């Protein structure tokens, strides 16, 4: 596991999947997940991970449209 991480057991479903990405339109591979039942603590934990990632990318000069 990554530093500052923990195991999450959250009922969820995959809402979309794009496993290959596309060089044509710079679409990355990935997937979307809908959490069916999630605690406030897990919501806050996931939000802290994603906001930390975005801040790091911004500091590297990687900007998202």
pLDDT at 1: 54
- As a residue count, the chain comes to 65
pLDDT at 53: 67
* pLDDT profile of the chain (65 residues), mean per 10: 75 90 72 93 85 70 62
Residue ranges covered by each domain of the chain: 12-59
pLDDT at 4: 67
Dihedral of the CA atoms 18, 23, 24, 25 (nearest 10)?
A: 60
């Amino acid at each position: 596991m990554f530093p500052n991480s923990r195991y999450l057991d959250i009922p969820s479903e995959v809402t979309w999947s794009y496993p290959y990405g596309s060089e044509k339109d710079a679409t990355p591979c990935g997937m979307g997940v809908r959490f069916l039942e999630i605690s406030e603590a897990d919501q806050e934990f996931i939000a802290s991970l994603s906001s930390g990632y975005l801040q790091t990318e911004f500091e590297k000069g990687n900007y998202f449209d």
